[in-house]
Chains A and B, each alone.
Chain A
Amino acid sequence: NAGVMQNPRHLVRRRGQEARLRCSPVKGHSHVYWYRQLPEEGLKFMVYLQKENIIDESGMPKERFSAEFPKEGPSILRIQQVVRGDSAAYFCASSTSGGDNEQFFGPGTRLTVL
């Protein structure tokens, strides 16, 4: 009974490169959320997606960041032209539906920008 899978677990990029973070939700879950966590801080919401739809992207920076959750395959968080301030842990969560349903979190991807 696999939980939320994220890969890679650790990602190192140089400034200006692209970072692609992948998230496979719990089997049967159609709602995916991405959060970012800086050291010693709580998680900050970025984006909420359902299959092929972005429901809420109010936490996403306006430039360089994008997310998708295609009909087939994992959800992808893409960061173009990374800067040092993008260094953080990125967590994906999934749920069966919206509302008062538990969000199950993955182990996170730790992005380091050199």
Chain B
Amino acid sequence: GESVGLHLPTLSVQEGDNSIINCAYSNSASDYFIWYKQESGKGPQFIIDIRSNMDKRQGQRVTVLLNKTVKHLSLQIAATQPGDSAVYFCAENSRMDSSYKLIFGSGTRLLVRP
């Protein structure tokens, strides 16, 4: 759904630990999902995507899990590093009326403690 003007939830992890960031999406008809990383003062950077015919996809140090039954996405980052500190957004491709706009979640700030 639409994000609201609240302070971002924050996840604080120790360097080297694994991180799990969760996201609930709104549209059961969405069939393409993306995780973006946004560092301060920069635009969103693509991390990994997944289509609705899959429930898991792995990249380098990252894994995305999709649970369509409860409309839930998660991003797992293995061996979290200081450079992973950023705000993470999930996004769904709404495919409404032939538009391929992305609908973004409200974001989670990841802080990595050295």
> Which residues on A are within 8 Å of B, measured CB to CB?
4, 31, 33, 35, 38, 40-45, 48, 55-56, 58-59, 91, 93, 95, 98-108
With A55-B99, A108-B43 already in contact, the answer to whether A42 and B89 are too (CB < 8 A) is yes
Contact of A58 among B4, B7, B49, B99 (CB under 8 A): B99
Would A56 and B106 count as touching, CB distance under 8 A? no
Contact of B107 among A35, A41, A99, A108 (CB under 8 A): A41
Contact of A41 among B5, B45, B46 (CB under 8 A): B5
Task: Please report which residues of chain B, range 41-97, place their CB below 8 angstroms from some CB of chain A when the two chains form the complex.
Answer: 42-46, 49, 51, 89, 91, 93, 97
- In Å, the complex CA distance between A40 and B98 comes to 30
With A43-B102, A100-B32 already in contact, the answer to whether A56 and B44 are too (CB < 8 A) is no
With A48-B100, A55-B98, A105-B45 already in contact, the answer to whether A41 and B51 are too (CB < 8 A) is no
> Which residues on B are within 8 Å of A, measured CB to CB?
2-8, 31-32, 34, 36, 42-46, 49, 51, 89, 91, 93, 97-107
- In Å, the complex CA distance between A108 and B36 comes to 15
- In Å, the complex CA distance between A45 and B97 comes to 14
Would B32 and A42 count as touching, CB distance under 8 A? no
With A100-B32, A106-B43 already in contact, the answer to whether A33 and B8 are too (CB < 8 A) is no
User: B100: which A residues are within 8 A, CB to CB?
Assistant: 31, 33, 48, 95, 98-99, 101
Would B43 and A91 count as touching, CB distance under 8 A? yes
User: A98: which B residues are within 8 A, CB to CB?
Assistant: 98-100
User: B32: which A residues are within 8 A, CB to CB?
Assistant: 99-100
Residue of A nearest to B32 (CB): A100
With A56-B97, A107-B42 already in contact, the answer to whether A40 and B8 are too (CB < 8 A) is yes
Q: List 13 A-B contacts (CB under 8 A).
A: A33-B100, A38-B5, A40-B107, A41-B5, A41-B107, A43-B102, A45-B103, A56-B98, A56-B99, A99-B93, A100-B32, A108-B42, A108-B43
A41, A106, A107, A108 — most chain B CB neighbours (10 Å): A41
Please give 9 more A-B residue pairs, beta carbons under 8 A apart, in addition to A43-B44, A56-B99, A102-B34.
A33-B100, A40-B7, A41-B107, A42-B104, A43-B91, A44-B2, A48-B99, A91-B43, A104-B46
